[in-house]
A = this chain, B = another copy of it.
Amino acid sequence: MAAEKMSLSKAINASLRTALETDPKVLIMGEDVGKLGGVFRVTDGLQKDFGEDRVIDTPLAESGIVGTAIGLALRGYRPVVEIQFDGFVFPAYDQIVTQLAKMHARSLGKVKLPVVVRIPYGGGIGAVEHHSESPEALFAHVAGLKVVSPANASDAYWMLQQAIDSDDPVIYFEPKRRYHDKSEVDTAAIPGPLHAARVVRPGTDLTLAAYGPMVKVALDAAAAAAEEGKSIEVMDLRSMSPIDFDTIQRSVERTGRLVVVHEAPVFLGTGSEIAARVTERCFYHLQAPVLRVGGFHSPYPPSRLEDEYLPGLDRVLDAVDRALAY
Contact = CB atoms under 8 A, between A and B. Distances in A.
Contacts of A137: 141, 268
B298 A288 contact: no
Contacts of A275: 272, 275-276, 279-280
Interface in A280-324: 280, 283, 288-292, 296-299
User: How many copies of this chain does the complex contain?
Assistant: 2
A94, A271, A326 pick with most chain B CB within 10 angstroms: A94
Contact of A297 (B93, B143, B292): B143
Nearest to A104: B299
Contacts of A45: none
A101 B268 contact: no
A87 interface: yes
Given A137-B268, A143-B265, A280 B291 contact: yes
A169 to B, nearest CB: 13
Interface in A122-181: 129-130, 137-138, 140-141, 143-144
Nearest to A297: B143
A130, A138, A272, A276 pick with most chain B CB within 10 angstroms: A276
Interface residues of A, number: 44
A144 to B, nearest CB: 6
A141 B143 contact: no
A266 to B, nearest CB: 9
A71 interface: no
Nearest to A264: B141
Interface string A83-101: 0000100110110011001
Contact of A283 (B140, B143, B288, B298): B288
A279 B272 contact: no
Contact of A144 (B129, B277, B299): B299
B276 A105 contact: no
B299 A267 contact: no
A7 B271 CA distance: 39
A189 B292 CA distance: 41
A97 B105 contact: no
A140 B279 CA distance: 22
A43 interface: no
A198 to B, nearest CB: 21
B138 A106 contact: no
Contacts of A267: 140-141, 143, 241, 273
A323 B220 CA distance: 39
A193 B129 CA distance: 33
A102 interface: yes
A299 B268 contact: no
Given A141-B267, A141-B268, 9 more contacts: A102-B299, A141-B269, A143-B297, A143-B299, A241-B267, A271-B276, A272-B276, A275-B276, A280-B290
9 contacts: A90-B94, A90-B98, A93-B94, A98-B130, A106-B299, A275-B275, A280-B290, A283-B288, A283-B289
10 A-B pairs closest in CB distance: A275-B276, A90-B94, A141-B268, A272-B272, A272-B273, A272-B276, A280-B289, A283-B289, A93-B93, A143-B297
